[in-house]
Chains A and B, each alone.
Chain A
Amino acid sequence: MSFNVLIVDDSCSMRAVIKKVVTMSGFEVDRCFEASDGMEALSVMAGQWVDLVITDINMPRMSGIELLAKMKEDDLLRMIPVAVVSTEGNEERVREAFSFGARGYLKKPFLPEECRTVLCEIVGIEEDGGYAADDEDTGDLDF
Chain B
Amino acid sequence: MQQTMKILETSIFEVFEKMFFLYLESIEPADTEPCLKASISFAGAGGGTVDLYLSDDLATRMAQNMLSIEADEVDDNQREDCAREAVNMICGHFLAMTDRNGCYDLTIPRCGPVEGPVPNAGERLDYGVGDETWAMTVLLSGSDGGSGVNETGPAPGEGRAW
Chain B contacts for A20, CB-based, 8 A: 68
Binary per-residue interface labels of chain A (42-64) against chain B in the complex, 1 for a CB within 8 Å, 0 otherwise = 00000000000000001110000
Q: Which residues on the B side are within 8 Å of A91 (C-beta)?
A: 100-101
Q: Which of A52-99 contact B (CB under 8 A)?
A: 58-60, 86-93
- How many Å lie between the Cα of A88 and that of B99 in the bound state? 12
A108 CA to B19 CA, complexed, in Å: 9
Complex contacts, A133 vs chain B, CB 8 Å: none
Chain B residues whose CB sits within 8 angstroms of the CB of A14 once the complex forms: 85
**Segment touching A, from B76-84, B125-133, B136-144:** B76-84
Are B103 and A92 in contact, with the CB atoms below 8 A? yes
Q: Is the CB of A93 within 8 A of B103?
A: yes
Contact A90 B102, CB 8 Å, known A16-B67, A17-B19, A108-B93? yes
Measured between alpha carbons, how far is A80 from B77 in the docked complex, in Å?
Answer: 32
* Closest Cβ neighbor of A92 among chain B residues: B103
- Is residue A32 within 8 Å, beta carbon to beta carbon, of the partner chain? no
- B66 and A87 contact, CB distance less than 8 A: no
How many of A's residues come within 8 Å of B, CB to CB?
24
Residues of B60-84 contacting chain A, CB below 8 A: 63, 66-68, 77-78, 81-82, 84
Q: Give CA–CA (A91, B102) in the complex, Å.
A: 8
B106 and A87 contact, CB distance less than 8 A? yes
Taking A13-B63, A17-B66, A109-B89 as contacts, is the C-beta distance between A89 and B96 under 8 angstroms? Answer: yes
A60 with B66: CB separation less than 8 A: no
Determine whether the beta carbon of B93 is less than 8 Å from that of A107: yes
Q: In the bound complex, how far is the Cα of B140 from the Cα of A17, in angstroms?
A: 28
| Chain A interface helix/strand/loop/mixed | loop
Cβ-based interface call for B1 (8 A): no
> Are B14 and A109 within 8 A (Cβ)?
yes
Tell me the chain B residues, 78-116 only, with Cβ under 8 Å from chain A.
78, 81-82, 84-85, 88-89, 91-93, 95-96, 99-104, 106, 108
Q: Residues of B at under 8 Å CB distance from A?
A: 14-15, 17-19, 63, 66-68, 77-78, 81-82, 84-85, 88-89, 91-93, 95-96, 99-104, 106, 108
- Give 25 A-B contacts (CB < 8 Å), ordered by A residue: A10-B108, A11-B85, A13-B67, A13-B82, A14-B85, A17-B19, A20-B68, A60-B108, A87-B89, A88-B92, A88-B96, A88-B106, A89-B100, A90-B100, A90-B101, A91-B100, A92-B101, A93-B103, A107-B93, A108-B92, A109-B14, A109-B15, A109-B19, A109-B93, A111-B18
Q: Which 3 A-B pairs have the closest CB atoms?
A: A87-B92, A89-B96, A109-B18
Excluding A17-B19, A108-B88, 18 further A-B contacts by CB distance (< 8 Å) are A11-B84, A13-B78, A13-B81, A58-B92, A60-B108, A87-B89, A87-B106, A88-B106, A89-B93, A90-B99, A90-B101, A90-B102, A93-B103, A107-B92, A108-B19, A108-B92, A109-B17, A109-B89
